[in-house]
Structure 1
Amino acid sequence: MTIKWISTLLLSAALLASPATAQDRAAETRPIHDRSQWLPPSVPTSDDVLRIPAPAGYNAPKGSFVLVGGRLFDGTGAAARPATIVVEGKTITAVLKPDDRNWPKDAIVYDVTGKTVMPGLIDLHMHLTFLDADDMSVYSDSNISGAQSVMRGLGRMGIYLQSGVTSVRDVGSHGDAPFVLKKLQAAGEIPGPRIFAAGQLITMTGGHGAGHAFGPGYPEVGDGNPNSMVRIASGPDEWREAVRIQFAKGADLIKLASEYSQAEISAAVDEAHSLGLPVTVDAETQYIDMAIKAGVDSIEHPLPRSDAAIALMAKKGVASVPTLIPYRIITRSSGGYFGSTSRRFQLNETTILDMARKMRRAGVKMGIGLDLIMNWPEYMPGAYINELESFTQIGFTRTEALVAATKTSAEIMRMGDRLGTIERGKLADIIVVDGNPDQDLSALKKVRTAFVNGRLMLQDGRLFMPAHEEKPLPSAK
């Protein structure tokens, strides 16, 4: 045995025993497992991130319709133009020139002359069941019922749809409520936007949002409160298990929140990616460095981070959902963000725009999310328009801001192949606006019609449900 060989062996042993090296190994997470190699395009699947095989014509409404006479803003970044849109079932089957009448003879024809037809808006950050301000003094996550959560979410879905939002990414809600609402909406049983649900937000004991997990009757930390909107986890194994629990419920993504160790977030991201789920994180300062190292797919909020972290986000394709509007509401309502251990830094209207502007200049992919908690959905659609206007303040044109709200946001959800633009083969999530939002964003206050998955769900600015169709009684034997 040579001295050189012994030295190498001793060095290897020292490295294996080093905590820092063990942490680095834990950070080597795998990318999102792509199952497309096992599912060719000819196999129909569910219209969500899970892409579960489904029967042909899955969840498609009957019949067809045509939108004629309007100007099309298709969400690709191209200039608006006159066009006719043909939808059969749940799919856009053609985008025709105005004089082309090549559509099914039995199609319902909607005359949208003088209006703009465009992809439905997307909100990448919302909490369907977050307690209202009045309820927070009475209820906690431990004594709120599932029925209350579902009814609260149902009301908010209506507000969002009336504001032109046809897809929402729920990044933390109570128990199984978001999954119940997702299933009912997808079946066309309730009007509202598509739901892409994360299930419970995952954080450590004392981490951001952990207060929602406590209250009278809360079980021991680590056991988990199934009705909470937050899942407490401690150590890499519990973070993996927390991810698996959301996956078992039907999650479309995983939402993590600081604080955490490198080993914890790396384990969670690795587990989520192995299951085919993207990960987004509510993080700040050094926790953003950890998140990038772990391989997260997007980062929420305009919170402090280094220039090096911003550059790494751009290099590694980590998207940003800056959510500028909630911090503007907080600052104007209470003078600042107070009382949170996860917000120990300066945070005001200037800092949030500066951070968003830095990310824009660095080339970070950016989508639209509002984070309207408590009774803040009442600010819709003005809150959404305000977020779009903020994007124009940090360097986006109006057209680019609307693309961020549609095409880019769909891509961040990993749904860019099915949503976000009006093109042949895409799902028919379409809104009709009384005005030209690409020229004046405030026109989005006048969304008159909305189709979600080819189903009419908003008519004349009001929620729409088709009339009940009576089924005949069983025949007498």
Structure 2
Amino acid sequence: MRRLILTALLAGATPIAAADPIAKEQLLTPPAGARHFVISSEAGKHGDIWSWRTSDGKTAYRMSMSLRGWITETDEVITNGPDQRPTAIAIRGFTDSGDATENFSVAPDGTATWKTSVDSGSAPYAGRRYNTYGGPPLATEQDIAALVAAGAKGIDLLPGGHATLTLGDVTEIDGPQGKIPVRLAFIRGYGFSPSPLWLDRDNRLFGYAGVASMLPEGYEAAGPKLKAVQDKATAAMVRDVARTFLTPANRTPTLVDHVLLFDSVKGTYLPDRAVLIADGKVAAVGAGGSLRAPEGATTLDGRGKTLLPGLWDAHQHVGEDWSLLQNVATGMTNYRSPGSLIEEAQSIVKRRAAGDLLAPDGRVSVIVDRKDPLAAQMALTVSSAEEAIAAVRRIKAAGMWGVKFYTSMTPAWIAPAAAEAHRLGLHVHGHVPAGMRPLDAVRAGYDEVTHINFIMMQAMPQEVVDKANTAARLEGPARYGKDVDLDSAAMRAFYAELAKRGTVIDPTLTVWEPLMTSDGTAIPPEYAAFAKVAPPAVARGWRIAGYPLKDGLTREDYRKSFGKMVELVGRLHKAGVPIVAGTDGWGVELVRELELYQQAGLSNAQALQTATIVPAKLVGMGDRLGSVAAGKTADVILVDGDVSQDLGNLRHVRTVFLDGYRLDGDALRSASGMSGMPE
């Protein structure tokens, strides 16, 4: 649904892409008096959406948005039939994904036909509604109206799926007309989890709230209040789910016998082992058949399976409760969040400790960025070095683990702010600010550099480095990466200094692989194994046409540049630079991230260490997590198949032990919106 409502209202805001679109000047111009909605966050305004009726009775929409340098300019015209279902939809313009062109029409015989940048098709239209691939999110108001009218029976969708909407409680907010009532609702069928939205007093779409909100002009200030209300309602839903899993019956002792065990500390696989889990800990590890199961224990046959430490995603922006549940379902028992809202992070910790939230355990950093139109939407924004230092102190006082500096930071502010962070015991990492190269940031105090494209900035032309807080941070490496000599004397010296300093690299290769290599003909490797068990709208959204090609470059050029990014990870590892595995995505991309590390030259075991013992030690939790050893917390997963032969078997989670609770993989997947085991 509108690319899952603008990727959950800009939660991650990583571009996803497609060709040569219509120019901005050719798009529709909103007339005077058009309904006006604003896209905004606590960092400021990001864009506008207008809607109006055309002279021939159609409904038109126009969207204009700039998010940290990623530009969206689109319009949409909908023609409705007598039953108020669309008989024609035309979307034009461009997004950070490239060409947004999309067309839908219904023939006289009732056959619906559609074409987007990634798919096309036709099917009988009777009794169904077309779910657009893109377009301004305000246009979902017509779908919402239909779902309200449909009630509990919901609506069948094209190209596939079924959606329903449930009504929630009423809240009052302030605006230009004083206090008005708005009603919370949740829509199901477009994503893995129920998605919140807000209705007006007539049960028409009022807007969306989130990290960023889409609300009528004049009501922007209500966004945080609406988000707080919907977060509380979501917390109640996930609390009920958590209590079905976190029961005494699921915390009885468990013996896993005759299993292949991954020793993450030594980086080896041990055949035919027995592991006893009891009282939330790994109680004993021994040879297969050597351990006795205590009375009342559950015994699991480990033959044909692999037991290993629960996985870590070292780049998971936590904050959305249902995503945390899905992370557990995919074998993730721990995370490192390089950018969360303080209040959300504190809430997660509190509710998890109370047994009200089924979630991995982790450590959180908070983003600090200069107050600027290109600032990160989840950041604490600052206007001086003194304010940056104050933000660091606020992060420490809130009990967070680290500080993440962002691309619009003034370079001169990094060193004093990083020094204060280190004085307070905080980890320092982040994007590399525009005007700096990664080695500059490391010398100024970074303990870690996030994203492989910022490592590639060491070899980029100065004009790319100077604009790294815009789309140049992707477009530069995409254009020039293929020609970088990774074995030059300058690059070798770069790797050596990073290794000497112990600088950690968080590559997130799975962010860049679909952008740079996809052409729309297939679902990217990150998601392919999950396509059949995800809701149809989600699987369709994963199919992208790749980042727009520019300056005569070809898709093959971009693929070669991505290949250099993969090779760069290998060079870093070979030089002794620590690598931690992160996705900056849903979390389901984690296994693909490890597969790419193997392509880069890491061994199977070395790749798996980047998602187990390495991140555990990085965040100071290696004494109790990250390996399967007697006395350690039982954050452990059992997967079908031999992981030593194929890392892809990590997707086949059979059982998750979370703080010693024995959780069934099938039940976890069902609760998190998946219909079965990934391929």
Instruction: Indicate which of 343, 346, 354 corresponds to 1:179.
Output: 346
Query: Aligned pair count?
Result: 352
TM score, norm. by length of structure 1: 0.67
- Residue matched to 1:326: 511
- Residue matched to 1:210: 375
Instruction: Indicate which of 278, 282, 296 corresponds to 2:427.
Output: 278
* 1:301 and 2:451 are equivalent in the alignment: yes
- Could you tell me which amino acid in structure 1 is paired with residue 372 of structure 2? G
Bigger drift between 279-288 and 437-446 goes to: 279-288
Name the CA distance, whole Å, in 1 between partners of 2:286 and 2:570.
Answer: 38
Instruction: Indicate which of 301, 323, 330 corresponds to 1:111.
Output: 301
- Could you tell me which amino acid in structure 1 is paired with residue 650 of structure 2? L
Instruction: Indicate which of 252, 255, 258 corresponds to 1:66.
Output: 255
State the 1:324 CA deviation: 0.4
Superposed CA deviations along residues 177-221 of structure 1, whole A, max 9, x for unmatched, are: 1221232224432222113221x31112338x6152xxxxxxxxx
- Output aligned runs, 1:197-276, within 5 Å: 197-198=364-365, 200-206=366-372, 210-212=375-377, 229-276=378-425
User: What secondary structure does 2:573 align onto?
Assistant: helix
User: CA 1:102 to 1:211, structure 2 compared with 1: closer, same or farther past 3 Å?
Assistant: closer
Name the CA distance, whole Å, in 1 between partners of 2:644 and 2:565.
Answer: 25
State the 1:431 CA deviation: 0.4
Name the CA distance, whole Å, in 2 between partners of 1:206 and 1:310.
Answer: 32
Does the 8 A contact of 1:457 with 1:463 survive in 2?
A: no
State the 1:334 CA deviation: 5.4
User: CA 1:436 to 1:102, structure 2 compared with 1: closer, same or farther past 3 Å?
Assistant: same
Superposed CA deviations along residues 312-356 of structure 1, whole A, max 9, x for unmatched, are: 1101101111110011122333543899xxxxxx99423422432
Instruction: Indicate which of 372, 394, 406 corresponds to 2:612.
Output: 406
Does the 8 A contact of 2:293 with 2:299 survive in 1?
A: no
- Residue matched to 1:313: 498
* 1:353 and 2:552 are equivalent in the alignment: no
- Could you tell me which amino acid in structure 1 is paired with residue 312 of structure 2? I
Instruction: Indicate which of 651, 654, 658 corresponds to 1:448.
Output: 654
- Could you tell me which amino acid in structure 1 is paired with residue 458 of structure 2? R
User: CA 1:98 to 1:305, structure 2 compared with 1: closer, same or farther past 3 Å?
Assistant: same
Stretches of structure 2 lacking an aligned partner (at least 5 in a row): 1-247, 460-490, 519-543, 551-557, 672-679
Does the 8 A contact of 1:74 with 1:422 survive in 2?
A: yes
Name the CA distance, whole Å, in 1 between partners of 2:376 and 2:355.
Answer: 35
RMSD: 2.8
- Output aligned runs, 1:391-402, within 5 Å: 391-402=597-608
Superposed CA deviations along residues 82-130 of structure 1, whole A, max 9, x for unmatched, are: 211122323223212223225644544333333111111110012124x
User: CA 1:353 to 1:206, structure 2 compared with 1: closer, same or farther past 3 Å?
Assistant: farther
- Could you tell me which amino acid in structure 1 is paired with residue 646 of structure 2? D
Bigger drift between 177-186 and 157-166 goes to: 177-186
Does the 8 A contact of 2:314 with 2:506 survive in 1?
A: yes
Stretches of structure 1 lacking an aligned partner (at least 5 in a row): 1-59, 130-152, 213-228, 340-345, 466-477
Name the CA distance, whole Å, in 1 between partners of 2:619 and 2:627.
Answer: 14
- Residue matched to 1:34: none
Superposed CA deviations along residues 147-182 of structure 1, whole A, max 9, x for unmatched, are: xxxxxx111112211111111111112351122123
Instruction: Indicate which of 171, 182, 190 corresponds to 2:357.
Output: 190
Instruction: Indicate which of 110, 125, 137 corresponds to 2:315.
Output: 125
- Residue matched to 2:593: 387
Name the CA distance, whole Å, in 2 between partners of 1:265 and 1:456.
Answer: 45
Instruction: Indicate which of 77, 90, 101 corresponds to 2:280.
Output: 90
User: What secondary structure does 1:315 align onto?
Assistant: helix
Name the CA distance, whole Å, in 2 between partners of 1:238 and 1:288.
Answer: 23
Instruction: Indicate which of 460, 472, 475 corresponds to 2:666.
Output: 460
Superposed CA deviations along residues 239-277 of structure 1, whole A, max 9, x for unmatched, are: 111112222222122222234345422222222222222
User: CA 1:323 to 1:120, structure 2 compared with 1: closer, same or farther past 3 Å?
Assistant: same
* 1:288 and 2:438 are equivalent in the alignment: yes
- Residue matched to 2:626: 420
State the 1:232 CA deviation: 1.0
Does the 8 A contact of 1:74 with 1:118 survive in 2?
A: yes
- Could you tell me which amino acid in structure 2 is paired with residue 312 of structure 1? E
Does the 8 A contact of 1:191 with 1:457 survive in 2?
A: no
- Residue matched to 1:53: none
Name the CA distance, whole Å, in 1 between partners of 2:262 and 2:548.
Answer: 38
- Could you tell me which amino acid in structure 2 is paired with residue 282 of structure 1? H
User: What secondary structure does 1:355 align onto?
Assistant: helix
Does the 8 A contact of 2:309 with 2:626 survive in 1?
A: yes
User: Which structure is higher in strand share?
Assistant: 2
State the 1:392 CA deviation: 0.9
User: What secondary structure does 1:402 align onto?
Assistant: helix
- Could you tell me which amino acid in structure 2 is paired with residue 157 of structure 1? L
User: What secondary structure does 1:126 align onto?
Assistant: coil
TM score, norm. by length of structure 2: 0.48
- Could you tell me which amino acid in structure 2 is paired with residue 123 of structure 1? D
Does the 8 A contact of 2:258 with 2:289 survive in 1?
A: no
* 1:429 and 2:635 are equivalent in the alignment: yes
**Bigger-Rg structure (1/2):** 2
